[in-house]
Amino acid sequence: MPRRFLRRSLLTVLLLPIILLGLFAIYQNRHVIFSENSSYHHHHNEHDSHFLYKTIPYNKIRQHFDSRRLTIDNSLSSKIFKNEEQPVKNLPKTSEIPSPSNILNNNQQINIINSNQEILPLQYHKPILKVIETKNLQRFVHLDLKGAAPKIIYYETLFPYLKQLGANGLLIEYEDMFPFTDNLSILRHDLAYKKNDIEKILQLAEENNLKVMPLLQVYGHLEYVLKLKEFMHLREDKRYPQVITPCLEESYKLLFNMIDQLLSHHPSIPYLHIGCDEVYYRLIHPKCVDLHFRDETDLFIR
C-alpha cells in the first residue's frame, strides 16, 4: 500500500510540471492557434451561408453577416446571391466593399483602407445623400387669412420683407375673407376684403416679384362653408363641418362656383391650390352607397 501511494505521488510530481508547461505554451501561442480555427470556421460558415441564400424567397438580395465583427480575408471573395440560382455579383479583393444596401441604392458605401480593417455593422453606416440644388426651388409663403387677416397697408411692409428673405411666391388662403358674391355672399365675413383690395394685393405682389397662388379647399377644411345651415346637408358626416361629401352633385356645383369666382379675381395665375389635406371622414355619407365605390382610391381615380 505505501509503495503504490509512493508511485502515484512520483507520477503526479513528474507529470504536473509537463502539463503546466503545455498549457503555458498554448496560452503563449493562442493568437496563432485561434486565428487558424477562426479561418476554418469562416470558410465553414461561408459555405453554409450559400445554402441559406438559396432558401431566401422572392426577389430580395441579402448578405450573410456574422453576429461578431468580420474581418476581410485576402483569400476570400464575398458572394451575393439573388433568388434561388446563380450569383449576381462576385466582389473582388479590392479596397472598396459595398454594403447590401449599396447594391440596391448607390447612396451608401464602405471605404476599406486595408484588408485587415473591420466592417462596422450596417446601423453605423452614414448614408451619402444627394445635394439638392435650391437655386431653382420655388419658395412660397403661406398666408392663412382666416380668423385674423391683416389690413392691406400691412402688405406694403410685409411683401418687401419676404422678398428680402428670399421668397418668390405667395400661397394665399382667403377662406371667408374672399369677396364672394351672389348666392355665395353668405360665405363672406363682415370684414372680408373687397374686389379692389384683392387687386391691391396682386399689385404689391407683382412689384416685389412674388408670384401668387390662391388656395381654395375643395374637400376638407370647409368649416366656414359647412357650418352654415344652408350647406349643412353637404357634410360628409352630419355631426362635423370639416369635410364636404363627394357623393352629392350639389357639392360640385358649390365648389365650381367658388372656383369660378376666385379665378375671376386672379385672371393671370398659373396655378390654383385645391388643398385636400386632413380629410378625416370619407365615404360615410348615406348617398355614397349608391355610387358603389370600391375603396377610397377609387374615389380619387373617378
CATH code: domain of residue 190: 3.20.20.80
Checking if the pLDDT of 241 tops 80, the result is yes
Alpha helices (H) along the chain: 2-28, 30-54, 100-104, 152-165, 195-207, 223-226, 249-264, 288-291, 296-301
Higher confidence at residue 56 or residue 132?
A: 132
- 213 inside domain: yes
Among 234, 211, 212, 221, residue whose Cα is nearest residue 275: 221
The pLDDT value recorded for residue 160 is 97
Whether residue 109 lies inside any domain: the answer is: no
Q: What is the pLDDT of residues 96-127, one digit of tens each?
A: 444 444 444 444 444 444 445 556 565 566 66
Mean pLDDT of 26-54: 56
Number of domains observed in the structure of the chain: 1
Other residues' Cβ atoms within 10 Å of the Cβ of residue 271: 14
In a domain, 83, yes or no: no
Mean pLDDT of 226-244: 96
pLDDT tier for residue 17 given thresholds of 50, 70 and 90 = confident
Average pLDDT, stretch 282-296? 89
Q: Is the pLDDT of residue 73 over 80?
A: no
**Across 274-287, average pLDDT:** 92
The answer as to whether 204 is a domain residue is: yes
Averaged pLDDT for residues 42-67: 45
Of the listed ranges 123-127, 142-146, 223-227, the one predicted with least confidence: 123-127
- Residues 6+ positions from 20 with CB-CB distance below 8 Å: none
Question: Is 235 exposed, middle or buried, given 0-12, 13-18 or 19+ CB atoms closer than 10 A?
Answer: buried
Task: Output the average pLDDT for the chain.
Answer: 77
Q: Is residue 143 part of a domain?
A: yes
Task: Give the relative orientation of helices 2-28 and 30-54 as an angle to the nearest 10 degrees.
Answer: 70
Query: How much is the pTM?
Result: 0.56
> Containing domain of residue 222, as a range?
25-36+54-64+136-301
Q: Does residue 170 fall inside a structural domain?
A: yes
Amino acid 100: pLDDT:
46
Grid coordinates given for 159: 411683401
Q: In whole angstroms, what is the distance from residue 215 CA to residue 144 CA? A: 9
Residue-level length of the chain: 302
Residue 189, pLDDT > 90, answer yes
pLDDT tens digits for range 194-224: 999 999 999 999 999 999 999 999 999 999 9
* First and final C-alpha spacing in the chain: 105
Looking at residue 287, what is its pLDDT?
93
- pLDDT(49) > 80: no
Burial 159-190 (b: 16+ CB within 10 A, else e): beebeeeebebbbbbbbbbbbbeeebeebbbe
Q: Which residue has the higher pLDDT, 3 or 28?
A: 28
Distance CA 48, CA 41 (A): 10
Which of 23-32, 35-44, 148-157 has maximum average pLDDT? 148-157
Instruction: Say which residue, 99 or 272, is predicted with more confidence.
Output: 272
Report CA 23 to chain centroid distance, whole Å.
58
Whether the per-residue pLDDT at 40 is higher than 60: the answer is no
Question: Is 121 inside any structural domain?
Answer: no
Give the dihedral sign, CA 146/148/154/160.
negative
Q: Tell me, what's the pLDDT at 23?
A: 85
Q: What are the strands of the beta sheet with 140-144, ordered from one edge?
A: 140-144, 169-173, 211-215
Q: Alpha-carbon distance 6 to 8, whole Å?
A: 5
125 is a domain residue: no
